[in-house]
Chain A
């Protein structure tokens, strides 16, 4: 940015969350003339988010509001001009007084006029599609337990004089029994449900099968789905199935025996693409596979497919599809994979970027859009490609992509005023080699006041660490980092070994947590200290969540070089991480290559709690009571151990939030969280606390 501008710019503040507009879920009309998307804003007073649809005319470039609801989402084109979307309670009103177990679908014509109720469905349906016979199909979470079901009470009806499941108690008879952001999931299964025109509902998948991914065939006569069938322990592996929507018959394509299948999509009527991972390679990159349905025999008995036809493995790409780059400024999802013109388009992490690529049927991958930053979602219809991307330190906006030139044209400017009026600092980048000769990318955001600093003036700094560990940070707008920079901190980050975008050789730290990754952070910090003399080495804080919280807890027990820590949704004891969380058994156990019976010493070796007695770094722990990923036991054990030391410690414990607090938590809580982090660093990293 130019210096004369800088003077007038506003610092980025915690409350700026309320000024930002979060775009998501772009969808292009079948004729390629329109794009509809969702715009969300944090509502301070309601302490929630409002969402409505906006529309871009791809011919004129005009961007305008489409719906005026408070909670309109999931737009899907029914024709060239009609958009179906899921409406919230604001639109349906309180008339029904229901428990939220229903779905209201509205339709709006982009040529004008208000939205009208299209279909009212008596259950909560997600990922809804309209079938040729106008029946709806979607994913529904069903309670398949044999336990007594809670009764829904009618008006004036008295509650039964006994304990009620779901209200007074829960029954757990399988593992996992809860799941982050979904709550208690014991004997809950995501099922493909068909809602007929008369309102009747047909469940299309097995009672105990949890549908983890699915896709409709282009002619909408069949569905392919990835399912896990279990009644006691959720298996790591899953099966691939083909569902005939007319007959209701299911055929097994890949049995639930050996593979964990990640995603599935129809490339055309007769070809499925899916990713598959052998159980023993848990946590590493998946194989890309095709399944040729044209060879399917009408056979009652089995799949009717030879193994090679069900699993035609493409060259190993060593990179999982549908990547992204870490930020706290994306709200709402979007499409990350789509079959277009015989090719498969998807987002992919390449080092610290998330790029859009296409893959042909031989598995050859070429970049479609690999500009600096991150593609968060995209859509393509009739030759019009629209990407939702974070470019040039902007918040996510829509861009039209010219595939032949690779040029992007901005379609939306929803945050241009905010970005232009605030001091946004772009990270400087460098590459370095760690002690093992592995190249690392470094990012450094300079502090406010850096340009005008007097000779010898130093600034405190914060090392930010991402979660995962198999994700990546990149050169994109990150609210928390910009707030820190605005308050006068250097902010620096890297993607250490274990991160995504660089293949298995780089990502595979299974059994090595806290060793090579820790070394990379130390080497990186040394390098930043060397390159930036204005960074005060004695005033460096560390900050991270999830795996980043694990690393904070680990670091304070292994080095005294840091002056403060903000450890969020963290892990301290792998015994409770393995046995109390949603992904403990399937994911964390292979990750640490040990369990409490085969190798208790190793489980303890990798637990930061073991080293807590060494810690003297003032540490802020942030935790949420519905975080079933990194359960509260992690932060609580660490906090009490630090108190035992006499180490300054603070536990900020949020109610009604989960692992996503920093990304999609209630807005006031997100602001409070940022203030907690800022407050802690101000106290321990600044010579004189700023006002």
Chain B
């Protein structure tokens, strides 16, 4: 008999990510990570795929190579701290500023171990090769007080913290040119200029950024081109004019900037293909488009690691895009704007590379977790044996027309070892975002609930990704049409699956899903157990504490506190917390600066005040990403907490036994 999936299954998974072809296209590198319960962390190594014979072999063995690049000479370059010397923190400089260092190692795919390549006096976060000798380095620079051993934070800017990075005041992204032969290091940006590297082509570097010293942060960065030969920076788009997060060099003299049309709500509208003239900054619409550009948003807690979401190749620009419940690879002809695709199937293309006519996709297909697919053929099998041994519940696609006449897409997972005619408890699972989707892909926590004897149902209500602007725009509608879709979906699934015991329904979700869980328990008592994770309860607090509170509140709630506090309160679950009767478990992490714990604590206290059973588990030193990349022991504890809570209130005595 196949094994039930438990919280411990996390330790058996291998996480494949970040595929990248070698310059000659004969090899492809990628990362494989796994949880290490002893270290209470993850190990990561670089592997190689031989494109011709499709053989796979491990390249690094230190467990410490989590991001890498190909050098122009065809070697793998990665940062690591391998020796005692590497681990030593440099002394602060004469001004008391922290000194930083990043050590790079290089390994030849044709044989031999990694050797130290060079060391940069920077806290590098990324590196790109310009040519064989020249690199562009992204680094975090501390422009403020020393970060080490300080008794207190001196904060003069907003936001001053960021999820996953802790306190960020005084920190700015900085770009450097590094010449390996001479060791020369040149800064491209001035202190307090916050830069991000976007693209490199020939002698030109495309980056975004803005100067920001005190007070409120800039909202949208400027877009700039740096010419390595003339050492001149040209600003294409001034700051705070155009909402964009990425950009690419395009046809001669142009850059493509995915951004919504002018006047659209940047928090709600999909970007389109806009092309800007480098010389005069003028903008033209190359191609109307109404889906995401450059990233997919299919939720899963069974993936780890990054990779490319877009790439220029020849006359085409390849990009990931969320279409319905899948993340797909697409391409657009840079000259004509003609879009071809999808080039990949249903599921989730997580990252990819293209080279010499080959397409290499890291994706989740069928019941599998992420593996590599070369031109559509599965070429890695890190998890095959495991997946074969597990009692997987395959999500069954459902669609129905809601009361507003809109088609809603969702899935049902039957409990493991399902016996028709028996009654089962059921968990409604709500994704975060809200601009993401749940799809058919492997999701560890949902599989665990199915294994524990629950039906699991989930859908993509209005506000979700993959369906276009009209569907995803729920500005100032939180808790209305999205709530309606979720309730009607639940009604419909109860009709279609009579074996779901409607008296034993549970609900859970994180982030926006936590907001919705908080909302649901204040608006209906149909759920007999709830688990609200990294949730939002009060938009006033969210606006004034979250790393993204200032803009997200405006774009999603249509107003800031000072403009319309009643509107924010009306859409705040806390307002309705006095009506809650659903026993609710709250899960929060104290380093979550996205949905800060004050909201979880407030909801918890509110429920306790109103005699509603409640429990809050607060994880130390975890962020908004606890369920996806938190420390393994904490992820296991979190899973066990949720399952225990659902069982306590939903399972029959017989099922509990």
- Interchain CB contact under 8 A, A644 and B608: no
Does A652 reach chain B (CB closer than 8 Å)? Answer: yes
Provide the residues of chain B in CB contact with A463, threshold 8 Å. none
Does B575 reach chain A (CB closer than 8 Å)? Answer: yes
- Interchain CB contact under 8 A, A585 and B544: no
| Contacts A585-B605, A633-B596, A652-B155 supplied; 6 other A-B pairs, CB < 8 Å | A163-B619, A163-B634, A172-B618, A580-B602, A585-B609, A640-B543
- Interchain CB contact under 8 A, A672 and B151: yes
- Interchain CB contact under 8 A, A609 and B561: yes
Does A307 reach chain B (CB closer than 8 Å)? Answer: no
Most buried by A among B151, B545, B616, B619: B151
Closest approach, in angstroms, between the C-beta of A480 and any C-beta of chain B?
Answer: 17
Does A669 reach chain B (CB closer than 8 Å)? Answer: yes
- Interchain CB contact under 8 A, A580 and B601: yes
A contacts, CB < 8 Å to B? 161-163, 167-175, 177, 232-233, 573, 575-576, 578-580, 584-585, 595-597, 600, 604, 609-610, 612-613, 631, 633, 636-641, 643-644, 646, 648-655, 666, 668-669, 672
Partner of B550, one of A171, A604, A644: A644
Does B637 reach chain A (CB closer than 8 Å)? Answer: yes
Provide the residues of chain B in CB contact with A175, threshold 8 Å. 604-605, 608-609
B contacts, CB < 8 Å to A? 37-38, 151-160, 167, 214-216, 538, 540-541, 543-545, 549-550, 560-562, 565, 569, 574-575, 577-578, 596, 598, 601-602, 604-606, 608-609, 611, 614-621, 631, 633-634, 636-637
- Interchain CB contact under 8 A, B157 and A173: no
The distance in angstroms between the C-alpha atoms of A232 and B575, with both chains bound, is 21
Provide the residues of chain B in CB contact with A576, threshold 8 Å. 538, 541, 598, 602
21 contacts between A and B (CB under 8 A): A163-B631, A163-B633, A173-B615, A175-B604, A232-B608, A233-B609, A573-B540, A576-B598, A579-B574, A580-B598, A584-B605, A612-B562, A633-B596, A636-B544, A639-B155, A640-B159, A640-B550, A643-B215, A644-B550, A651-B153, A653-B167
The distance in angstroms between the C-alpha atoms of A119 and B81, with both chains bound, is 50
Q: Nearest CB to that of B541 among chain A residues?
A: A576
Provide the residues of chain A in CB contact with B216, threshold 8 Å. 643-644, 646
Provide the residues of chain B in CB contact with A609, threshold 8 Å. 540, 544, 561
A-B CB pair tally, cutoff 8 Å: 163
Closest approach, in angstroms, between the C-beta of A43 and any C-beta of chain B?
Answer: 15
Provide the residues of chain B in CB contact with A163, threshold 8 Å. 619, 631, 633-634, 636-637
Provide the residues of chain A in CB contact with B544, threshold 8 Å. 573, 609, 636-638, 640-641
Closest approach, in angstroms, between the C-beta of A176 and any C-beta of chain B?
Answer: 8
- Interchain CB contact under 8 A, B538 and A575: yes
Provide the residues of chain B in CB contact with A631, threshold 8 Å. 598
Most buried by B among A169, A595, A612, A636: A169
Closest approach, in angstroms, between the C-beta of B25 and any C-beta of chain A?
Answer: 43
- Interchain CB contact under 8 A, A669 and B155: no
Partner of B620, one of A169, A232, A600: A169
- Interchain CB contact under 8 A, A643 and B157: yes
Provide the residues of chain A in CB contact with B155, threshold 8 Å. 639, 650-653
The distance in angstroms between the C-alpha atoms of A556 and B544, with both chains bound, is 18
Provide the residues of chain A in CB contact with B569, threshold 8 Å. 600, 604
Provide the residues of chain B in CB contact with A652, threshold 8 Å. 152-155
- Interchain CB contact under 8 A, B618 and A173: no
Binding site of B, secondary structure by majority: helix, strand, loop or mixed? Answer: mixed
Provide the residues of chain A in CB contact with B598, threshold 8 Å. 576, 580, 631, 633
Q: Nearest CB to that of A673 among chain B residues?
A: B152
Partner of A646, one of B215, B618, B620, B631: B215
The distance in angstroms between the C-alpha atoms of A623 and B608, with both chains bound, is 27
In the A-B complex, the 6 residue pairs with the closest CB atoms? A643-B158, A637-B544, A163-B637, A579-B602, A651-B155, A172-B616
With A167-B620, A631-B598 as given contacts, are A162 and B636 in contact (CB-CB < 8 Å)? yes
- Interchain CB contact under 8 A, A633 and B606: no
Provide the residues of chain B in CB contact with A584, threshold 8 Å. 605
Provide the residues of chain B in CB contact with A638, threshold 8 Å. 544
- Interchain CB contact under 8 A, B545 and A610: no
- Interchain CB contact under 8 A, A575 and B617: no
Provide the residues of chain B in CB contact with A650, threshold 8 Å. 154-156
Most buried by A among B37, B156, B609: B609
Q: Nearest CB to that of A604 among chain B residues?
A: B565
- Interchain CB contact under 8 A, B637 and A177: no
- Interchain CB contact under 8 A, A168 and B620: yes
Q: Nearest CB to that of A578 among chain B residues?
A: B605
The distance in angstroms between the C-alpha atoms of A585 and B605, with both chains bound, is 9
Closest approach, in angstroms, between the C-beta of A160 and any C-beta of chain B?
Answer: 9
Provide the residues of chain B in CB contact with A579, threshold 8 Å. 574, 601-602, 605-606
- Interchain CB contact under 8 A, A171 and B38: no
Closest approach, in angstroms, between the C-beta of B137 and any C-beta of chain A?
Answer: 31
Q: Nearest CB to that of A575 among chain B residues?
A: B538
Partner of A668, one of B151, B215, B560: B151
- Interchain CB contact under 8 A, A170 and B617: yes
Q: Nearest CB to that of B38 among chain A residues?
A: A161
- Interchain CB contact under 8 A, A575 and B156: no
Closest approach, in angstroms, between the C-beta of B462 and any C-beta of chain A?
Answer: 27
The distance in angstroms between the C-alpha atoms of A641 and B550, with both chains bound, is 9
Partner of B615, one of A172, A573, A578, A597: A172
Provide the residues of chain B in CB contact with A612, threshold 8 Å. 562
Closest approach, in angstroms, between the C-beta of B555 and any C-beta of chain A?
Answer: 15
Q: Nearest CB to that of A585 among chain B residues?
A: B609
Closest approach, in angstroms, between the C-beta of A2 and any C-beta of chain B?
Answer: 40
Most buried by A among B550, B565, B598, B621: B598
The distance in angstroms between the C-alpha atoms of A650 and B214, with both chains bound, is 9
Q: Nearest CB to that of A232 among chain B residues?
A: B608
The distance in angstroms between the C-alpha atoms of A596 and B540, with both chains bound, is 13
- Interchain CB contact under 8 A, B159 and A171: no
The distance in angstroms between the C-alpha atoms of A517 and B37, with both chains bound, is 57
The distance in angstroms between the C-alpha atoms of A638 and B155, with both chains bound, is 13
- Interchain CB contact under 8 A, B608 and A169: no
The distance in angstroms between the C-alpha atoms of A637 and B602, with both chains bound, is 15
With A161-B37, A597-B578, A672-B152 as given contacts, are A168 and B601 in contact (CB-CB < 8 Å)? no
- Interchain CB contact under 8 A, B541 and A575: yes
With A585-B609, A596-B574, A654-B152 as given contacts, are A168 and B633 in contact (CB-CB < 8 Å)? yes
- Interchain CB contact under 8 A, A172 and B633: no
